[in-house]
Amino acid sequence: MTNSDSGGAGGPARTHPALTDPHTGLANSLHFDLVFNYIFEAGNRGLPFTVMLVSAGTDDTSPDSLIRDIGRQIHQTTRTTDLVSHMGGGRFVVCLLGTNLPGGRIAADRIDLALSGVAPGATCFGLAAYAAGIEDSRALLQMAETALLAAQASGGGVGFA
């Protein structure tokens, strides 16, 4: 199942201005941090999930309409249970609930296809799956960041942590 609108399903709490990125209508970094910390704790109790960082050749100087279009495509390609957030700097983060690394790779392939006519540059992905022993949510995000940088260094594609 995929999302069908760019604003997200749900009531006012999910679309509250304090939790919404004004450029994309997606979750902002505060919203992501709040939810992601809870999800990380659920991982400690057995919930599998994977974090995906996405870069599509955009940055802070890219037009808002382009960032919005990319965010919309990512959001429409993911499941309603996944959290999609615009982190700024032309980057997006997706928390894929109930997903391992192979499932994250499938999601990355779908997003890559959806962005093929929209992204101005190579689409790169950094994937990191929750595993026992990861110190905290920031460490997991750093693992995804390292994987994304590896994908960018190789000219595109998917990097795994």
Please report the domains of the chain, with CATH numbers, ordered by start residue: 20-160 (3.30.70.270)
pLDDT of residue 23: 83
pLDDT of residue 142: 98
- What percentage of the chain's residues is helix, strand, coil (to nearest 5)? 40, 20, 40
Say whether pTM exceeds 0.75.
Answer: yes
pLDDT of residue 15: 67
Distance CA(83)–CA(30), nearest Å, equals 12
Type of residue found at 67: I
Quick one: DSSP state of residue 27?
B
pLDDT of residue 14: 56
Residues ≥6 apart with Cβ < 8 Å to 9: 3, 80
- Report the candidate in 54, 44, 148 with the shortest Cα–Cα distance to residue 108: 54
Residues ≥6 apart with Cβ < 8 Å to 5: none
DSSP SS3 for 2: coil
Q: Give the pLDDT means over successive 10-residue stretches in the chain (161 positions).
A: 43 68 90 95 95 95 94 96 93 97 98 96 97 96 98 97 96
- Report the candidate in 89, 57, 63, 84 with the shortest Cα–Cα distance to residue 73: 84
Residues ≥6 apart with Cβ < 8 Å to 53: 91, 92, 93, 125, 126, 141, 144, 145, 147, 148
94: tokens are 């997706």
Distance CA(149)–CA(61), nearest Å, equals 20
